[in-house]
Structures are given as C-alpha cells and as structure tokens.
Chain A
C-alpha cells in the first residue's frame, strides 16, 4: 500500500479513540477494502500513484469516517453506565447515610475502589474503569493530608519526597487514560475541584478539628448530593454517542455541581476560592486535550524518525542496524 493510503489509515486510527481490539478490527477492515479497490483500479490499467489517489477520493474524508465509526461504537450499555457511575454513587451513599464516620465502611469502599480499578486496568481498560481510577488517587491525597499532621521537622523531610511521587503517579494515570481518549481523562478528574470545594468549605486551613467533623456532618447530605450529580453525569456520559455532547455534559455538570457546593456551603466558600475552583475545573478539563496532542505529536515524530532511518538503512543495505536503533527507542 502507498504512503498516502497508509497516512490516510493512520489519520483515521488517530481519530477513532476506540479500545485497541476494536480499533485494530476497524483498520483491518478498511485496509482490506483499500486493497480490493487498489487491485481493481490497477487491473483497469491505472498506475500505482494514480490508483492510490483515485482510491482516496472514493473513500471520503478520514475525519468524517472516524467520527461516524466512533459514534457507532462509543455508546456504552446501561450496565457499563451503572458500573461507571458506581464509585460516585458509593461515595454519595457514604455521605447521605452518614457512614463516612465509620472506618470500616471507608475501608470497604476504598478497598473496593482500588481492587476494581486494578481489575479494570489489567482487563483492557474498559470505559467504565476511568471513574474508579480517579478515586484510586484518593489514598495518595489522604497520604498528603496526613503529612500535615507530622511533627514539623518530619513534614519538611517528607513533603519534598511526597510531591514529586504523587505528581508522577497522577501524571502516569493521566497519560495512560489520555492515550485512550482525553475525554475519559477529563471525566476522571472531574471530582477533584468538587471534593476540593467541600474540603475548603469544611476547613480552609486544611487541619481537621472536632469542629470540622461537625461541619462535615452538617454538609453530609449536600456532599452526598454532589456525588450523586457526578454519578448521573457519568451515566449520561457513557450513554451519549457524540463527542461534543460528552464534552458539554462534563462542562455543564462540573459548573452546576461546583455552584451547588458554593450555595450549600452557606458562605464558607469565598468568591475568590470559588473562582479559583472554576479555573481549576477548566484547567483539569483542558489539560488532557493538550496532553493528547503532545502524545500524538511525539508518537508521529517517533514513527517518522524510525521510518526515515529504516528508509536510509534499506538504501544503504543496513536494516539490521536500524532494528537495533528502533529497539533502543522502545527501551
């Protein structure tokens, strides 16, 4: 197949954003179609380059095909929608029923979150796993909060170690999720500004006292309600087909839930803090999109550099050496 057609298929692959097995099947099917068409055109007497150009014209826009295939595959089942909204629902129930005070319930839910996230991660990263992954970052956040309670000298020692590790972990999870689809990454990060909003409303200083616990108790129904709003958002997100609708529901739900936090916090969330949280929400929504562009650009640069080396080596009759170079790149 010619470079133009390979580039066309790569272009479709880049925009599909399906899971790996589905993506491979779609590309194989289109590849077979292209081969059949090319063969027919060449048998009709067209030279290779012209046959490739004609084939490209007959196929239609790569962007349109990728979008339509995405929409044919993207809609999750009701079961997937329920599974995706489950971690939000569990945390919602934890607060609505005031079970957050019981260490046993907290431990059960955290274990469930971690084990489900690990299970999903090792079983092909299905669409429902990303909200669970987001919550699996909670122990990292909790460890950070506990550092505040260490004696002063220990805090100074632990914080420079903790922050790079925590940021690396967050970055790693984000990159892995964004590789599949940046919208999943944005959906995964959506609870962060909302949880931070409640945290600031309960204790702006970050140090929990007995009064803070009383405030959590007072706010618990509304904290639960905001988690339930997130659960509904995730269910709708999984059921929607169009990307723009998925993005819109994340933005609208994020803004409304954050407004709900400010409203029910009874003035304990200041206007500047609210505005900073809105900005953080936009940032967390857009960072995965920028990250995806970066990942794809570096992927393309890697492909073109190895392709160029392969071409140069094949001209020089030196392919074995290039395979080694390619291997070292992968390493």
Chain B
C-alpha cells in the first residue's frame, strides 16, 4: 500500500472516525521503516509516475502480533470495567 491509499483505507475502515493531518502519516511510516517493521519501495506506474509502496516485514508482522494481543488484553480489561457491577 502507498501513503495516500493507507489514509483512504483508515478512513474507510473506521467509517470516517479516524481523520488526521495527512502529512503526519509519512513521518510515522519513515519511523516504522527505520525500525525495520515496514519496507518502502519505489514503483513506476504505467503512466510514468513514481509511487512509494510500503510492505510489512517479518519483523513487523511479529511486532504486530504482539501489539494486537496487547491491545486485545487492554480492550478486554476496559470492557470488564465498564460492565455493570454484579450484585
């Protein structure tokens, strides 16, 4: 995926909830790339324009698994807190 596509996808999947300053996506992508979690590659389109596509790396995938599991634990804990107290 490329930067603009990521923004559109975030917007679509969150049903318009996640809207942020678009320019700030690129520093985040570059930080992930420096950490070896994603890999950026320039590709030439049929119309001659160039685009930078980002691919998740193996390291990035394992980090994602860990982060996703932590997020799930956090979400479960918050749900438990918000549950009505049992008598």
A and B together in one complex:
yes
Q: Distance (Å) between the CB of B6 and the closest chain A CB?
A: 10
- Choose among B21, B22, B24, B51 the residue that contacts A32 (Cβ–Cβ < 8 A): B51
Q: Is A256 an interface residue (CB 8 A)?
A: no
Q: Is A2 an interface residue (CB 8 A)?
A: no
- Interface residues in B, total, Cβ within 8 A: 18
CB proximity to B under 8 Å, residues A1-52 = 25-26, 28-30, 32-33, 35-37
When the two chains form their complex, are residues A68 and B4 in contact, meaning their CB atoms are under 8 A apart?
no
Q: Distance (Å) between the CB of A25 and the closest chain B CB?
A: 8
User: What 1/0 flags go to B30-61 for Cβ under 8 Å of A?
Assistant: 11001000000010000001111000000000
Bound form: Cα–Cα A36–B1 in Å: 14
Bound form: Cα–Cα A32–B5 in Å: 12
Query: Which of these binds chain B: A57-65, A96-104, A196-204?
Result: A57-65
Q: Distance (Å) between the CB of A265 and the closest chain B CB?
A: 44
When the two chains form their complex, are residues B24 and A36 in contact, meaning their CB atoms are under 8 A apart?
no
Interface band, chain A: 20 to 34
Q: Distance (Å) between the CB of A31 and the closest chain B CB?
A: 10
- The winner among B2, B27, B51 for most chain A CB atoms within 10 A is B27
**A28's closest neighbor in chain B, by CB?**
B50
Question: What are the residues of chain B within 8 A of A35 when measuring CB–CB?
Answer: 49
**B35's closest neighbor in chain A, by CB?**
A72
User: What 1/0 flags go to A69-112 for Cβ under 8 Å of B?
Assistant: 10111010000000000000000000000000000000000000
Bound form: Cα–Cα A26–B26 in Å: 8
Q: Is the interface of A mostly helix, strand, loop or mixed?
A: helix
Q: Distance (Å) between the CB of A21 and the closest chain B CB?
A: 12
Bound form: Cα–Cα A30–B28 in Å: 13
Q: Distance (Å) between the CB of A33 and the closest chain B CB?
A: 5
When the two chains form their complex, are residues B27 and A33 in contact, meaning their CB atoms are under 8 A apart?
no
When the two chains form their complex, are residues B34 and A73 in contact, meaning their CB atoms are under 8 A apart?
yes
**A8's closest neighbor in chain B, by CB?**
B23
Question: What are the residues of chain A within 8 A of B34 when measuring CB–CB?
Answer: 72-73, 75
When the two chains form their complex, are residues B23 and A32 in contact, meaning their CB atoms are under 8 A apart?
no
Question: What are the residues of chain B within 8 A of A65 when measuring CB–CB?
Answer: 23-24, 26-27
Question: What are the residues of chain B within 8 A of A36 when measuring CB–CB?
Answer: 4
Q: Distance (Å) between the CB of A302 and the closest chain B CB?
A: 27
With A35-B49, A68-B28 known, 7 other A-B pairs at CB within 8 A are A25-B42, A26-B30, A29-B52, A32-B50, A32-B51, A32-B52, A59-B22
Write 5 A-B pairs (CB below 8 A) sorted by A numbering.
A29-B26, A60-B24, A64-B21, A68-B28, A72-B31
